[in-house]
Amino acid sequence: MKRRILSACLILTLVLVMVGTVTAAPKSKIIHVSRESKVFAIGAESKPIAKANPGDILVVETEDCFDNQVRTPEDVIESVDFDRVNPATGPIYIEGAEPGDTLVVDILSIDVAKQGVMVALPGLGVLADEVQNPTIKILPIKDNRVIWDENWSFTIKPMIGVIGVTPKGEPISCGTPDDHGGNMDTAEIGAGCRVNLPVNVEGAMLHLGDVHATQGDGEVCGTGVECRAVVTLRVDVKKNTGLERPVLEKDNRIMFMASHVDLFTATQIATKEAVNFLMQAKGLSFEEAYILASAIADIKISQLVDPLLTVRAELDLSGL
């Protein structure tokens, strides 16, 4: 029957609209990528620093968002070279990835350094005009906890701030999110998350960085607990999907990502993606899927502090 309940496995395959076939891969290998190979912007002229086949495991060292310029409370934030903010390790060429495909990135683990840094700066964050004194907070990380002071600590939840591919058109700073991924600063992009990215150029050109030991949705002051890290991930390619912007899968949930200078417009884009998904998954008209989305889709803010603002429309597949 057209509207019968679909299994979660079938629904997951529908996320890519045209699922296509996964590329056949030779025996997988482990590839180590140093944080010394990094970019601050990504475009069609960017040169790959490594190559991988579908199914390969990448062990990627990442630099913190300040390019390791802030290490002690005595460092002067005004002396930071902001042209060196948000470096991403890469790009990494994925064999067989062609425009119109989907690059599938499974985050296997994130190992963070022994300390992180946060800052409050005039002009940065959602309360930017209220910050009077530039402030640096160096935060030790021990036993999977961020040590705020001698009296209090909180649990880490490592996540990747910047992950993307080469965008369409002009180069984009690694500090900016868009349809190619980039600086989405989404707390869900941690271990166990599958990141689906649209391939715009041959080889996709994967790059990642800006890891946070933890970050709240919104990243309200402009920083999470910024730290160096080692990220282990597996890459794959799905052919001829026509995916246009990032989609996340995690814990039976699917999340449609959108970034725009206007928060409401970003919400519209993400909502439309969720409605389109429900139309196909459940065999519904637009109006029926729109009504269903209003009942079961959650709109969540990923970040409010980058040049474009990022939201996600989230569906729990276990109930579909």
Task: Kindly report, residue by residue over 35-68, the tens digit of the pLDDT.
Answer: 999 999 999 999 999 999 999 999 999 999 999 9
The mean of the pLDDT values for the chain is 92
- pLDDT average, residue stretch 111-135: 95
- Read off the pLDDT band of 200 (50, 70, 90): very high
| Better-predicted residue by pLDDT, 272 or 82 | 272
Q: Which fold has domain 22-246?
A: Jelly Rolls (2.60.120)
- Collapsing DSSP to helix, strand or coil, 292 comes out as helix
Question: For position 11, what pLDDT does the model report?
Answer: 52
pLDDT(3) > 60: no
Q: Which of 21-30, 76-85, 164-173 has the highest mean pLDDT?
A: 164-173
Cα 35 to Cα 14: distance, rounded to the nearest angstrom:
35
The string over 173-205, giving b where at least 16 C-beta atoms fall within 10 Å of a residue's C-beta and e elsewhere, is bbbbbbbbbbbbbbbbbbbebbbbbbbbbbbbb
- pLDDT average, residue stretch 294-309: 98
Domain positions in the chain are 22-246
Tokens of 49: 């620093």
* 69-113 pLDDT, tens digit each: 998 888 877 778 888 999 999 999 999 999 999 999 999 999 999
Strands 194-198 and 102-112: antiparallel
Neighbouring residues of 242: CB distance < 8 A, sequence distance ≥ 6: 17, 18, 100
- Asked if 99 contacts 93 with a C-beta cutoff of 8 angstroms, the reply is no
pLDDT(309) > 70: yes
